Chains A and B, each alone.
Chain A
Amino acid sequence: MNPEDDDVPLELVRLKRLDTLAELSDEDVMERCATGSEIAFRALVKRYRGRIMNLVSRFINDRDRAEEISQEVFLRVFRNRERYRKSGKFSTWIFTIAVNLTKNEIRSRVRHKGTFSLDALEEETGGQGLPFPDTNPLPDEDLGRGEIREKVADALRKLPPRYREAVVLRDVEGMSYEEVGQILGIPGGTVRSRINRARLMLKERLKPFLTLEDV
């Protein structure tokens, strides 16, 4: 704490520092976190908790478990803060941790069921996934949109996991092809092909709801 902050309530000091951090890039904030700044870590949690929770929720059919995994993601960030290298994007790093933990969870669930095969994995994630959990009840006029949302959720659920993770990172999280490749550990050509296949599958399943636009 700075000497000039002595008379200021602690919470105000914290908010003031958070404001300062708000102007910094993720990488700069993470650098401060690596030096032991709790405020910087809290700032990162605020920035990413929603995105991480959403990402994990799209693969794990259990809201509480998804939240636990999201917490574990941040714990790992904190534990390994000194190993972070500023040369890499922070978002790529944290999403890689999240994807790996999610995959571990899925594998663990499949193993507990006594089966371990790609089909089982697909069934585990695709059959009961929670791509778009409907948290807000829709008014009557929005029922049409609700139905479409449900169809989209269903179409995403039925995608094979390797296609789903690629398309979620690209279309839901807005990552670049390069970042998707880094997170999933696959080459650029594979990223391109997986995203394309996933979208073609989605297009076929959503055909009745499509309104054509000019390219």
Chain B
Amino acid sequence: MNCRSAESLFSAFLDDELTQAERRYFESHLLGCRRCSQSVRELKSAMALVTDAVTASSVETSPHFEDDLMDRIRSGEAMRPTVIEWIQSFLVPDRLRPVFLAGASACAVVAAVLVFQGGYLTGGANGPAMASKPTPSTDAPVVASTTTSEPAPAATHDASAPTTLADATPRPAARKAAPTTNEGNGIVEIADRVVPAAGGDETSGVPNPESQFVDEYVNDNFFLQRGGVANDPQQPSLVPVSDKGSDGVYIEF
């Protein structure tokens, strides 16, 4: 412990507010440092001086302090709450409980209606409307995975033969797949999804076997797309991921 560190502990030492370890280090420093030892003694003396001076000069309230106070209370004039106190009076748990209960009930009704409607439209809890809902994006670094959960024509797509842009027209709601966190490194891996082409059965969740490409969900704003045509002025929203552009990987905004 150096003198500067020791100085920051002077008051805590005198007030017995040091931890055992701190006290041990501090006392061993004091034994070897005359300057700090002197400073601690001066500090103790200064504290005593201040305490004496304070004790010798206290301010008394006026003799009618209490009566004035009680008069103000009885008159009611002084009992009007301030704006902040008035607001706070509504934040008492007893008063808030009915509000919370009403809110919770309303939420439960809304949730029940949503679940019922969702089940009705999709024909069951595992319906595609639920399954294809976008999952909230994550701020974690993203790595596009090349693993495909089920075989699809697009999975074997050759980068040298990109698909037509008409085929590549995105359908964001159907493209998004849930990212999974890669344990340990916080990186999110994206499972590929086959995007149904026009005419595919989107609501049933069955991938169209004629799909021309595979895309990879990155986040809510864009995704990687295998295929497409680089630098096509008709499709400026397709941007190649690398400078080469020959790998057939683009970002669609």
A and B are partners in one complex rather than unrelated chains: yes
User: Is A93 in the interface zone, CB < 8 Å from B?
Assistant: no
Q: Which residues of B contact A76 (CB under 8 A)?
A: 85
Q: Which residues of A have CB within 8 Å of B37?
A: 215
Q: Which of B30, B47, B53 touches A132 (beta carbons < 8 Å)?
A: B53
Q: What is the CB-to-nearest-CB distance from A199 to chain B, in angstroms, rounded to a whole number?
A: 5
Main secondary structure of the interface of A (DSSP, over half): helix
The verdict on B46 contacting chain A, using a C-beta distance below 8 Å, is yes
Q: Pick from B7, B15, B44, B73: contact of A75, CB below 8 A.
A: B73
The minimal Cβ–Cβ distance linking A87 to chain B, given in whole angstroms, is: 14
CA distance A161 to B17 in the complex (A): 23
Q: Is the CB of A210 within 8 A of B49?
A: yes
Question: Which residues of chain B come closer than 8 Å to A63, judged between CB atoms?
Answer: 59
In the complex, whether A12 has a CB less than 8 A from a CB of chain B is no
Does residue B81 face the partner (Cβ distance < 8 Å to A)? yes
Q: Quick check: A200 and B10 within 8 Å, CB to CB?
A: yes
**CB nearest neighbor in B for A202:** B46
Whether B12 contacts A42 by the Cβ 8 Å rule is no
> Are the CB atoms of B57 and A203 closer together than 8 Å?
no
A80 at the interface (CB under 8 A from B): yes
For A173, the closest partner residue in chain B by CB is B54
Would you call A192 and B12 a contact (CB within 8 A)? yes
Does any Cβ of B come within 8 Å of A153's Cβ? Answer: yes
A84 within 8 Å of B by Cβ? no
Question: Nearest CB to that of B7 among chain A residues?
Answer: A200
Query: What separation, in Å, do the CA atoms of A114 and B207 have in the docked complex?
Result: 71
Cα distance A181–B94 in the bound complex, in angstroms: 29
In the complex, what's the smallest C-beta–C-beta distance from A44 to chain B, in angstroms?
Answer: 11
B 60-78 contacts with A by CB, 8 A: 60-62, 65-66, 68-70, 72-73, 78
Choose one: B9, B49, B58, B66; the contact of A45 (CB below 8 Å).
B66
A211 → chain B, closest Cβ, in Å? Answer: 6
CB 8 Å contact bits of A46-82 with B (1 = contact, 0 = none): 1001100110010000010011001100111011100
With an 8 A cutoff between CB atoms, is A148 at the interface? yes
Q: Determine if B69 and A74 form an interchain contact, defined as CB atoms under 8 angstroms apart.
A: yes
Q: Is the CB of B44 within 8 A of A49?
A: no
B159 CB–A CB distance under 8 Å: no
Contact A196 B8 (CB under 8 A): yes
CB closest chain-A residue, reference B18: A192
Judge whether A199 and B47 touch: CB under 8 Å. Answer: yes
Q: Which of chain A's residues have a CB closer than 8 A to the CB of B164?
A: none
Alpha-carbon distance A213/B45, docked complex (angstroms):
7
Complex interface: chain A residues within 8 A of B43 (CB): 199-200, 203
A86 adjacent to chain B (CB < 8 Å) = no
Q: Are A209 and B61 in contact, with the CB atoms below 8 A?
A: no
Q: Is the CB of A213 within 8 A of B8?
A: no
For residue A172, CB closer than 8 A to chain B, the reply is: yes
Q: Which residues of A contact B14 (CB under 8 A)?
A: 215
Q: Which residues of chain B have C-beta atoms less than 8 A from A156's C-beta?
A: 50
Report yes or no: A212 in contact with B65, Cβ–Cβ below 8 A: no
Q: Is B11 an interface residue (CB 8 A)?
A: yes
Apart from A133-B57, A196-B8, A212-B42, what are 19 other A-B pairs with CB-CB below 8 Å? A42-B70, A50-B59, A50-B60, A53-B59, A70-B61, A75-B69, A79-B81, A80-B85, A145-B56, A152-B50, A152-B53, A153-B57, A171-B54, A199-B11, A199-B43, A200-B43, A203-B42, A206-B49, A213-B41
Q: List 28 A-B contacts (CB under 8 A).
A: A42-B70, A50-B61, A54-B59, A67-B61, A67-B62, A74-B69, A76-B85, A132-B53, A133-B59, A148-B49, A148-B53, A149-B57, A152-B53, A171-B51, A172-B50, A172-B54, A177-B15, A192-B11, A192-B17, A196-B7, A199-B10, A199-B11, A199-B43, A203-B39, A210-B42, A213-B44, A215-B14, A215-B37
Top 9 nearest A-B pairs by Cβ distance? A152-B53, A196-B11, A203-B46, A210-B45, A132-B57, A57-B59, A149-B53, A212-B41, A53-B61
Give the interface of A toward B (CB within 8 A): 38, 42, 45-46, 49-50, 53-54, 57, 63, 66-67, 70-71, 74-76, 78-80, 83, 132-136, 145, 148-149, 152-153, 156, 167, 170-172, 177, 192-193, 195-196, 199-200, 202-203, 206-207, 209-215
Binding site for A on B (CB under 8 A): 7-12, 14-15, 17, 30, 37-51, 53-54, 56-62, 65-66, 68-70, 72-73, 78-79, 81, 85, 88, 92
